[in-house]
């Protein structure tokens, strides 16, 4: 029997690498999608390639989207500094590392790819626990996008629908890491830091580094990237 | 008083040129957005530039999105032929010129731009009358996307919301043309054909040409592009 296809958004980070393993464990034939969106750091793309290779994914599409043109985020705009320390979701403030409507764009491109290859399942590694407070990581956003996917594609005229899987949405970073371990995910291929040092190491100080460190600490495991 | 900003999706076609005039007539300060998505015809981009110039729009962003990578549409994929004649929405069939999830992608990018420049209004020239049956041109899709815009941006944490304006959604092509005339839109700058002849003229036979011709005929006006 032919496996069902799924599109998995792979950023090269820890979360999406767990989601990739998760999708594969459910028996999907995975097509990985990485968006190159004017990130400051090409290392994210290289990590995405490594993550795919380490999990045996052979169909990996990398698509350019020029979000840098829009500006307005510390992740794409060199004028805006990446803040140090945490300002997590619990504080209620959306930090300057937020990229305007990023996950809407990512899911749209994943949807287009899914429709063109006949996949009805899309996986994204967002979490609304131990997160940075970005609105497009929350479950209500994912559900709203699922409705767009149904109404904005050929599925509108059929009984078909799309499922946007966000299996980490209610997991802590610790739980995500433990799930990844149980799936055999190699975290040494993943990259998390928003603002690497000149020598290529993670800064350890940005919010993303701190959430990762907290996750490994709570899981009682060493971070293989630092080992 | 400062004018309110709006993002207007401008394709270079007839409909979006009317929408551009419409947004300007409502007093918005317009930022035009054109997506270069692997169209077969660069002439669409040139027409978008002409349309913006003819309406005095000075802020026109052109962003590349590589949808050709995904394939699956006669508009982006050279392997698929553009059909001749009409297969309009009324027949219920979605034609091969449909680009998977195109308007979802377009609106996502418009939303990202809107959020980064502080605009809360986005204009798109879709119509569900005299159209090709694409699902992402219907009012229920536009409403679903409006919900995504609210939940997937900073607006999620405030009383703000986004309005996705689709002022042509219930207009016939004739009504759209008459509205454009009343707004002073110069239709000679617009381009409609999906499959131009080698001499650069519109083919006159594709569905898009035929819907345009029907509109001008019903409006009792000559098409200035053919004049």
Domain parsing of chain A, residue ranges: 5-219
Q: Is A203 exposed, middle or buried (0-12, 13-18, 19+ CB in 10 A)?
A: middle
Q: Over range B155-183, report the average pLDDT.
A: 96
Q: Note the pTM of the prediction, 2 decimals.
A: 0.90
Integer Cα distance of B73 and B132 in angstroms:
14
> Which residues partner with B163 through β-bridges?
B121
CB A192 within 8 A of CB A149: no
Task: Let me know if domain A5-219 sits in CATH 3.40.50.620.
Answer: yes
Q: Chain B neighbours among A 143-182 (CB < 8 Å)?
A: 144-145, 147-157
For residue B81, the model assigns a pLDDT of 65
Residue A90 pLDDT > 70, yes or no? no
Q: Which residues, 6 or more positions from B125, have their beta carbon under 8 angstroms from its beta carbon?
A: B9, B11, B13, B15, B16, B17, B18, B19, B166, B168
B56: closest CA of chain A, how far (Å): 21
Does the distance separating the beta carbons of A67 and B112 come in below 8 Å? Answer: yes
Tell me, what's the ipTM? 0.89
Task: Supply φ then ψ for residue B146, to 5 degrees.
Answer: -60, -35
CB B5 within 8 A of CB B115: no
Does the distance separating the beta carbons of A105 and B109 come in below 8 Å? Answer: yes
Average pLDDT of every residue of chain B: 88
Does the distance separating the beta carbons of B94 and A154 come in below 8 Å? Answer: yes
* Per-residue tokens: B198: 């080698």
Question: What is the pLDDT confidence band of residue B93, given thresholds at 50, 70 and 90?
Answer: low
Of A138, A140, A148, the CB nearest to B145: A148
Question: What is the pLDDT confidence band of residue A92, given thresholds at 50, 70 and 90?
Answer: low
Q: Which residue, A30, A31, A34, is CA-closest to A13?
A: A34
Residue A118 pLDDT > 70, yes or no? yes
* Domain B5-222: CATH architecture, name and number where available: 3-Layer(aba) Sandwich (3.40)
Question: What is the pLDDT confidence band of residue B90, given thresholds at 50, 70 and 90?
Answer: very low
Residue B92 pLDDT > 60, yes or no? no
Could you identify the residue written with the tokens 């005095």?
B56
Comparing A150-159, A205-214, B1-10, B40-49, the range with the smallest average pLDDT is B40-49
Does the distance separating the beta carbons of A98 and B112 come in below 8 Å? Answer: no
% of chain B with per-residue pLDDT over 90:
67
Task: Supply φ then ψ for residue B68, to 5 degrees.
Answer: -60, -30
Integer Cα distance of B146 and A88 in angstroms:
27
Question: What is the pLDDT confidence band of residue A171, given thresholds at 50, 70 and 90?
Answer: very high
List, for residues A25-72, the tens digit of each pLDDT value: 999 999 999 998 876 678 889 999 999 999 999 999 998 887 767 765
Which 3 state secondary structure label does DSSP give B165?
A: strand
Instruction: Dump strand ranges (E) for A42-111.
Output: 60-64
Q: Over range B87-100, report the average pLDDT.
A: 63
List, for residues A192-220, the tens digit of each pLDDT value: 888 888 888 899 998 889 999 999 999 99
Residue A74 pLDDT > 90, yes or no? no
Q: Over range A125-148, report the average pLDDT.
A: 93
């Amino acid at each position: 029997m032919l496996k069902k296809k799924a599109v998995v958004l792979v950023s090269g980070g820890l979360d999406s690498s767990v989601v990739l393993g998760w999708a594969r464990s459910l028996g999907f034939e995975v097509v990985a999608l990485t968006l190159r969106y004017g990130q400051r750091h090409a290392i994210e793309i290289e990590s995405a390639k490594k993550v795919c290779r380490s999990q045996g994914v052979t169909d990996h599409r990398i698509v350019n989207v020029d979000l840098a043109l829009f500006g307005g985020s510390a992740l794409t705009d060199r004028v805006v500094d990446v803040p140090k320390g945490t300002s997590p979701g619990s504080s209620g403030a959306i930090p300057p590392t937020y990229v305007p409507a990023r996950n809407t764009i990512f899911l749209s491109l994943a949807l287009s790819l899914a429709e063109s290859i006949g996949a009805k399942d899309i996986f994204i590694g967002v979490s609304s626990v131990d997160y940075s407070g970005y609105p497009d990581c929350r479950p209500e956003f994912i559900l709203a996008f699922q409705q767009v996917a149904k109404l904005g594609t050929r599925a509108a005229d059929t009984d078909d629908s799309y499922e946007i899987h966000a299996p980490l949405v209610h997991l802590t970073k610790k739980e995500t890491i433990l799930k990844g371990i149980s799936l055999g995910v190699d975290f040494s291929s993943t990259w998390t830091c928003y603002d690497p040092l000149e020598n290529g190491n993670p800064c350890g100080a940005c919010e993303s580094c701190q959430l990762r460190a907290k996750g490994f600490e709570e899981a009682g495991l060493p971070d293989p990237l630092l080992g």
